[in-house]
Amino acid sequence: MIIAVINQKGGVGKTTTTLNLGAALAREGQRVLLADLDLQRDLTAYEAAFEESGKHPDIRFASTNAQALPALLDEASDNYALLDCPPGLGDEVVAALRVADVALVPVAAEFPAVRGLARVLDLVAALRRCDNRELRLHLLVTMLDGRSPHGQTVLETLRELPSQIARCHVYETVVGRSLLFARAAAEEQSIFDFAPSSSGAAAYRDVARELLALAAPQHEAKAEVSARADTAKKTKTAGGSTP
């Protein structure tokens, strides 16, 4: 399954979600490709520390761009590919949405974030019309501050969307605001390695489980990212035991 992590707005938790959801999926037994489409290379910054730790045999990193992405995915045999996109809705985002099964949009629980969402939804709708009819839309609330009145309003606004938009899922799990994410990032660690018993770790574990439950039926038909590459070897494994 290919998941494009997108939002027009910067600093909403795209890279944090890519990294920690990827780590959570690996903890659930999945092989994960983390692909960095952002020239800031914030995701790639974790690569050396992850490899040196020896704790993440099921996670691999790739730095790529819009042109190189299709070839990277054709060669991939991971269960999940997470594509960390730059802010904005430029070439990298369009390239990611063209090949993705899911557009995953982290939405920071603040008012401007919800306002900016309309353009993201328009782009997803346009891609569905032209290029990728099956593209699903997943929305994940991040940086929720339980004390802020805005947070609840954002949640309520988002939870109305699935009744208005086809193939749209709003995660039951929300990711709260926590300084531990920035501290984990400074140490180039996932939240699971940095603060395993934190509420942030529990949140990304639950997001991964929700995603796996949603993905289960379709995995029978398309077991791996590589199912997109039409080779005899991959045809053999597609009906196998991969969940």
Ligand X SMILES: Nc1ncnc2c1ncn2[C@@H]1O[C@H](COP(=O)(O)OP(=O)(O)OP(=O)(O)O)[C@@H](O)[C@H]1O
Assess 32 for contact with ligand X (CB under 6 A).
no
Q: How far is the CB of 146 from ligand X (least distance, A)?
A: 12
Q: Which is nearer to ligand X, 168 or 180 (CB)?
A: 180
Q: Which residues, including other chains, have CB under 8 Å from residue 193's CB and lie 6 or more apart?
A: 23, 53, 55, 184
Per-residue contact track with Mg ion, 3 to 42, x per CB under 5 A?
A: -----------xx--------------------------x
Which of Mg ion, ligand X, none binds 143 (CB below 5-8 Å, type-dependent)?
Answer: ligand X
Q: Which is nearer to ligand X, 114 or 229 (CB)?
A: 114
Strand order in the sheet with 2-5: 59-63, 32-36, 80-84, 2-5, 102-108, 136-142, 168-170
Assess 15 for contact with ligand X (CB under 6 A).
yes
Q: Which stretch binds ligand X (CB under 6 A): 97-105, 146-154, 155-163, 172-180?
A: 172-180
- Size of site (CB under 5 A) for Mg ion: 3
Residues 91-150 that bind ligand X (CB under 6 A): 142-143
Q: How far is the CB of 56 from ligand X (least distance, A)?
A: 18
User: CA-to-CA distance for 69 and 200, rounded, in angstroms?
Assistant: 30
Assess 38 for contact with ligand X (CB under 6 A).
yes
Residues 174-213 that bind ligand X (CB under 6 A): 175, 177-178, 181-182, 185
Q: Which is nearer to ligand X, 18 or 30 (CB)?
A: 18
User: CA-to-CA distance for 217 and 192, rounded, in angstroms?
Assistant: 28
Assess 178 for contact with Mg ion (CB under 5 A).
no
Which of Mg ion, ligand X, none binds 95 (CB below 5-8 Å, type-dependent)?
Answer: none
Which residues contact ligand X (rule: CB under 6 A)?
10-16, 38, 40, 42, 87, 142-143, 175, 177-178, 181-182, 185
Binding stretches for Mg ion (CB under 5 A):
14-15, 42
